[in-house]
Amino acid sequence: MSSTPEFLWYIPNQVDAGHRGDVAQAGHNSLDTLADQALALERHGWKGALLGSGWGRPDTFTVAAALAARTRSFEPLIAIRPGYWQPAQFACAAATLDHLSGGRVRVNIVSGQDGVAEYGDREGDSAQRYARTREFMQLVRRLWTEEHVDFRGEYFQVSDSTAQPRIVARAGRPHPKLYFGGASEAAERVAATEADVQLFWGEPLAGVAERIERLRALARSLGRAHAPLEFGLRITTLVRDTTEQAWADAQAKVARMAESQGAGWNDHHGPVAVGQRRLLDLHERGEVLDDNLYTAPGKFGGGGAGTTWLVGSAADVARSLRKYQDLGISHFVLSDTPYLQEIQRQGDQLLPLLRA
């Protein structure tokens, strides 16, 4: 299990400008603009960044490959969906990028509902969707670590399959880590047995502690065969020079969200997943939970990692993130807008406190 926390950012992978309050500018998703963010992440102490996935967005794997070619240490956490990819095809593509980038690939497996009819997929109900995801993860892992693989599942089959090039095992990393999210019972069973890292949205500390305890118990009861499950937090962090300025800016930003009915904020439209519903319900318990977990964004259009924010000075936010770390969180995926400006601010002000 990771003993040293890792800090990643989020690079928007969007057709439309102005994502979550970012500066709406021409060329917002050009290679130069996105590479500027990846290079800034390298300069300001970040490990890498999550690249989101969804039908109607630029292809995530293509963006990740382009950014890996422009950088030296930046590690893309590439969100991908079973259904977009066949597992053997993906295993080879990811192994190729891992080889070309010197071992910098990370993978976030996404199973939430998407525009399946638009890209020609058939997912079935939730139980079938997660059963397929389980097979996908099992087969990709085997193709990365074994040769001449035979696999006969309900959804995927291969015979005498060897993915080339071979994944190079590195210290503490036999293959690219498989991140996973989901709060339903079916999702948690997949995470407990197949994922390397379970990602949580920005829930209060007690909720995260409860889920960690449940997932660890599930891993034991279901006979997990891999290294112990690790845990991550994906959340918005609004950091300013002072506590007062941070809250003033957070409230002003939410007021603008309310005026625009959350336009540009929620990229999790469609059926609301269990984890997203848990977040959206938090504002009913109070506008601020724990020390500085701001729930109002979820009331006015925030979705996903934009539903709740940790707000405060760098010291305030670092103190809160360390409490999550004390629960067992070792992977942090943070963000705020404007993205490029906040890469620099939080890299210079927040990360040194978290690494102290």
Q: Would you state the structure tokens that stand for residue 160, as one six-digit string? A: 């005498």
Look at residue 272 in the predicted model and tell me its pLDDT: 61
Q: What is the pLDDT of residue 266?
A: 60
Q: Give the max Cα distance, the chain.
A: 62
Q: Supply the angle between the helices 31-43 and 60-70 in degrees, to the nearest 10.
A: 60
Domain boundaries defined on the chain: 6-239+309-355
Q: What dihedral do alpha carbons 40, 103, 198, 213 form, nearest 10°?
A: -110
Neighbours of 148 (CB within 10 A): 8
Are the C-beta atoms of 96 and 165 separated by less than 8 Å? Answer: yes
To the nearest 10 degrees (0 to 180), the angle between helices 87-101 and 60-70 is 10
Q: Which CATH number fits domain 6-239+309-355: 3.50.50.60, 3.60.15.10, 3.40.50.300, 3.20.20.30?
A: 3.20.20.30
CA 129 from centre of chain: 19
Closest CA to 181 of 99, 81, 330: 81
> Which pLDDT belongs to residue 1?
42
Phi, psi for residue 128 in degrees, rounded to 5: -70, -40
In the block, tokens 């034991």 appear at 220
Query: How far is residue 317's CA from residue 201's CA, in Å, rounded to a whole number?
Result: 16
Please report, in tens digits, the pLDDT of each residue of the chain (356 residues total): 446 999 999 998 887 766 777 777 888 899 999 999 999 999 999 999 999 888 888 999 999 999 999 999 999 999 999 988 999 999 999 999 999 999 999 999 998 777 677 877 776 788 889 999 999 999 999 999 999 999 999 999 999 999 999 999 998 899 999 999 999 999 999 999 999 999 999 999 999 999 999 999 999 999 999 999 999 999 999 999 999 999 999 999 999 988 877 666 665 445 567 777 788 888 889 999 999 999 999 988 777 888 999 999 999 999 999 999 999 999 999 999 999 999 999 999 999 999 98
Q: What residue type is assigned to position 45 of the chain?
A: G
Q: What pLDDT does residue 271 have? A: 55
What confidence score (pLDDT) does residue 267 get?
A: 55
Provide the token pair at 116. 């399946």
Two tokens, residue 284: 């009913």
Residue 216 amino acid letter? R
| CB neighbourhood size of 205 (10 A) | 17
| One-letter amino acid for residue 125 of the chain | D
